[in-house]
Amino acid sequence: MNREHVYDRWGVPEVINATGTKTRIGGSRIRPEAVEAMADAAESFVRLSDLQAAASDRIAEVTGAEAGYVTNGAAGGMVLAAAACIAGDDLGTMSRLPDTTGVADEIVMPRTHRTGYDHAFRTAGASIIEVGTNDRYLGTGSRDVEPWEYADAIGEGTVAVGHVYKSYGTPPLAEVCAIAHEHDVPVIVDAAAEVPPAANLSWFTEQGADLVAFSGGKGIRGPQTTGILAGRQDLIRSVARQQLDMHAAEAVWDPPSRLVDADSLDGVPKQGIGRPLKVGKEELAGLLAALEAFLEEDEDARAAEWHDRAERLSAGVAAATGLSARVDTSGRSVAPEVVVTVEGDGSTADLVGRLRSEAPRVFVGADSIADGEFTLNPMCLTDEEADYVVERIVSLVDDVADDDAGTGGAGTGDDADGTVGGE
């Protein structure tokens, strides 16, 4: 951790990432194979449609879907998925999105699947039609959405069903797909953070999903700005037509037919809604290289590495006075996460905040600080960094305990004994 970083040049502190594949601190460690492919791709030019067509073939093989596309993150893939479901092959609608005046634009989604990421659907012009209730979350009942509610909400205006996959979600994805397909409506799945395991690359398609969005920069460890969209050939064709740069002279426009099928169009599409979601040749090459390396990886070895690191983190912090820890394998994250409980009032946010304001910054998971907990995720740490994180937490928890006890100053660790949780 003492080596010079490029960030030093700008006076920006490095981050030690103990919270997993979070975009706001850089996502994941890109694979060396991807970096090498990106450097190689940077040396020369390629027609992007050719490279996307090759990527489409490979993604189809890997996912079992008819076709695929390399997108600008999973979120970019969701914009394109919605755009494809709204516009299909219609040149006029493609050119007008996100204006959907006069065309169907509704995506049916359970209330419990609404997240900040569905702004991506709305960016393409979709209106979200919510179904179900929040009873399970609020504890006012045991249910969220019923199969019949999907069927009830699907109508003339529906272009897709939206589904954010979590292993504990109900009803099962296969059932949702069956209902949607009975009504001739495609299902878009947000599976951004659902790999590994590699088997999940094809699982969603097997359940019947028509378009599936994965992050390229999370568990796959490709370039951070990439994503994968896998799905029906006609929908991926619409995606390509709306994403590729279309400042082409019609007389010589000859994109790969299996991806764009220019012959079936009355003319060259305009720059589409997806044009700002650019994916460069370097990112495309990097994602494809990362995908191969991801598929070749020994999954059992990686799972064991994450498990061992989680145990190491857990044992390390649990040894500190005032902290307890347990390893959570419930599936909220694809990796086991350590849930650390801070005993004593109000010190969790203080501790998490202090960790973040050090140099290097130490980021731990802060989603449940209001409950007196924070999380440690092994995915983006080396063992050396994990030890450093434990050392910083143990050291700071002593300081925080001292402050809470009104003793002030920097704690030595010894005088923290007996003061934590005492007030």
Ligand X SMILES: *Cc1c(COP(=O)(O)O)cnc(C)c1O
CB of 286 to ligand X, least distance (A): 14
Q: Write out 302-363 in H/E/C secondary structure.
A: HHHHHHHHHHHHHHHHHCCCCEEEEEECCCCCCCCEEEEEECCCCHHHHHHHHHHHCCCEEE
Check if the beta carbon of residue 229 is closer than 8 Å to that of residue 204. Answer: no
| 80 vs 420 by CB, closer to ligand X | 80
Distance of CA 273 to the CA centre of its chain: 21
| 186 vs 219 by CB, closer to ligand X | 219
For residues 79 and 84, what is the distance between their CA atoms, to the nearest angstrom? 9
Check if the beta carbon of residue 374 is closer than 8 Å to that of residue 349. Answer: no
CB of 37 to ligand X, least distance (A): 19
Angle formed at CA 113 by CA 381 and CA 118, multiple of 5 degrees: 80
CB of 3 to ligand X, least distance (A): 27
The residue nearest ligand X at its CB is 73
| 216 vs 256 by CB, closer to ligand X | 216
342-364 burial: b if 16+ Cβ within 10 Å, else e: bbbeebbebbbebbeeeebebbb
Check if the beta carbon of residue 163 is closer than 8 Å to that of residue 113. Answer: yes
Q: How far is CA 412 from CA 49, 321, 391, 396, 415, in A?
A: 61, 12, 13, 10, 6
| 173 vs 246 by CB, closer to ligand X | 173
| 81 vs 401 by CB, closer to ligand X | 81
Largest separation between any pair of C-alpha atoms in the chain = 81
Check if the beta carbon of residue 419 is closer than 8 Å to that of residue 405. Answer: yes
Binding site residues, ligand X, CB under 6 A: 23, 73-75, 117, 164, 190, 192-193, 215, 217, 227
Q: Is 67 helix (H, G, I), strand (E, B) or coil?
A: strand
Q: Which amino acid is at 128?
A: I
CB of 275 to ligand X, least distance (A): 17
| 80 vs 235 by CB, closer to ligand X | 80
CB of 77 to ligand X, least distance (A): 7
For residues 125 and 133, what is the distance between their CA atoms, to the nearest angstrom? 24
| 96 vs 221 by CB, closer to ligand X | 221
| 75 vs 126 by CB, closer to ligand X | 75
CB of 319 to ligand X, least distance (A): 32
| 117 vs 388 by CB, closer to ligand X | 117
For residues 146 and 132, what is the distance between their CA atoms, to the nearest angstrom? 7
CB of 150 to ligand X, least distance (A): 20
| Beta strand 373-376 pairing with 337-342 | antiparallel
CB of 109 to ligand X, least distance (A): 13
CB of 123 to ligand X, least distance (A): 12
| 161 vs 397 by CB, closer to ligand X | 161
CB of 227 to ligand X, least distance (A): 5
For residues 401 and 157, what is the distance between their CA atoms, to the nearest angstrom? 58
